[in-house]
Amino acid sequence: MIRDLCDGQLEGAEIGSTEITFTPEKIKGGIHTADTKTAGSVCLLMQVSMPCVLFAASPSELHLKGGTNAEMAPQIDYTEMVFKPIVEKFGFIFNCDIKTRGYYPKGGGEVIVRMSPVKQLNPINLTDRGCVTKIYGRAFVAGVLPFKVAKDMAAAAVRCIRKEIRDLYVNIQPVQEPKDQAFGNGNGIIIIAETSTGCLFAGSSLGKRGVNADKVGIEAAEMLLANLRHGGTVDEYLQDQLIVFMALANGVSRIKTGPVTLHTQTAIHFAEQIAKPKFIVKKSEDEEDAAKDTYIIECQGIGMTNPNL
């Protein structure tokens, strides 16, 4: 996909290869289509293409096909409800239009992402967590799965959260995906917590054959609660998704996180190798974080400038 976005040369990009050579050229805007032809994640296609098209010569429209709610990747709801509002703090906006949802193993989903290029990215400072003010989400079924499954996932998640957070109304909507907007069968849940300073955290889970609905709901709830305990301003999955933008931004960015994930360490390693920003990861010195495993990731971005604008 990236090769096509910039008329580049790509060698060795086949199954079994241990080495690739990629030579980029000028990044083009316009309409691009990328199809995983499986339940491969459209969100990962979006993740990899977004930093590129921000520095294109003209606006882009990306038609991404594959899985929208798939394992081992953000669900499209996470991308829309958590990633989008936070990443837009870097000073750009994008539009994500979900045409069809697709699930494992068939895929068949499609989203259209539209965005305009920027001259530069602004640095971000996400170090003040505030307190949790809202918890909401959606529990969905698609295809042949009965609506009761959505209701059971939602109810189990709410019960699990109530044990730990008693003073907030937890609003998880059960949803039956419309037949014409979902391909194949699937079920899952995403729960978002929002704080007084605008931080967003999520827990999510997908149903699998033979796993009862309650278990799916509880897994998502426990993931959310774990992400609220560490005192960071981003959850464990947003952490690494912000690294590339921090590296490219014009100035010093800071985010407060829980334990730094291997994904984040990897993203920092490659960003430093390729673009030469300077990252510093240190234990948070705030008093309220003293007993917690909380870190500050600081980055002196390279101030990448769009040569086309």
List the end-to-end C-alpha distance of the chain, in Å, as a whole number.
23
Two tokens at 150? 């959505």
- Sign of the Cα pseudo-torsion (217, 223, 229, 235, in order): negative
- Sign of the Cα pseudo-torsion (125, 127, 132, 136, in order): positive
Would you kindly state where each structural domain of the chain is located, as residue ranges?
1-115, 132-229, 234-302
> What is the CATH code for 1-115?
3.65.10.20
pLDDT tens-digit series, residues 165-198: 999 999 999 999 999 999 999 999 999 999 999 9
pLDDT tens-digit series, residues 255-271: 999 999 999 999 999 99
Question: Are the beta carbons of 167 and 135 closer than 8 angstroms?
Answer: no
Nearest to 127 by CA among 89, 98, 94, 76: 89
| Cβ-based burial of 195 (10 A; exposed 0-12, middle 13-18, buried ≥19) | middle
Two tokens at 88? 């837009």
pLDDT tens-digit series, residues 107-131: 999 999 999 999 999 999 999 999 9
Two tokens at 80? 């829309």
Average pLDDT score, the chain: 97
From the annotation, which residues make up the binding site for ATP?
A: 47, 237-241
Which residues are catalytic, by number? 263
The yes-or-no answer to whether 1-115 and 132-229 have a common fold is no
Give residue 290's pLDDT.
87
Give residue 126's pLDDT.
98
Computed on alpha carbons and rounded to an integer, the radius of gyration of the chain in Å comes to: 20
Q: Which residues contact 142 (CB under 8 A, 6 or more apart)?
A: 101, 103, 176, 177, 182, 184, 185, 186, 187
From the annotation, which residues make up the binding site?
A: 47, 237-241
- For the entire predicted model, the pTM comes to 0.97
Give residue 288's pLDDT.
87
The residue to which tokens 């295809």 are assigned: 143
The residue to which tokens 């800071």 are assigned: 254
Nearest to 56 by CA among 116, 2, 112, 122: 116
Give residue 170's pLDDT.
97
Helix 147-164 × helix 213-229 angle, to 10°: 30
- Sign of the Cα pseudo-torsion (283, 286, 291, 292, in order): negative
Q: Which residues of the chain have pLDDT under 70?
A: none
Angle at 238 between CA 236 and CA 242, to 5 degrees: 130
Pairing of strands 30-35, 60-66: parallel
Domain 132-229 CATH assignment equals 3.40.50.720? no
